[in-house]
Amino acid sequence: MIMNRTELAIELLKEGKSFELEGVSLFINSLGEVVVSCAADCIYFENVTKAQALDDLSWLKTSFYKLVISTPELERLVADKEIIYKVWYEVYKSQSTCICTERGHKIEWAPNIQD
């Protein structure tokens, strides 16, 4: 059986593995929470501001919502789980630093993020 990219991503998620689809990374952590993340749209960490990170967070939440409503199986899989959103600063996909995490509508910021 040949699976399309979305079907494969859902199978990986069910197996406890992460996947990236349309710039959104997903995985289910050991607590059963769905962790939804993306890379920040910035070049240098020193220049990251809360306003930029909030724009990235908004994009992430909207993109995840679109994925969920367009994929009934994904919608069923995440329906009863807590969703945690994370925006990361990545350096060539080899290193990353979490800029912010939103859990239950509360945002936690990394130290030294400019206002």
pLDDT digits (tens, 9 = 90+) for 56-89: 999 999 999 999 999 899 999 999 999 999 999 9
The kind and range of the H/E element at 97 are strand 95-103
Who has greater pLDDT, 95 or 18? 18
Q: How confident is the model at residue 33 (pLDDT cuts 50, 70, 90)?
A: very high
pLDDT of 25 strictly over 60: yes
What phi, psi does 105 have (nearest 5°)?
A: 65, 10
Does residue 1 register a pLDDT over 70?
no
In the prediction, which pLDDT does 102 show? 98
* β-pairing verdict for 34-39 and 83-91: parallel
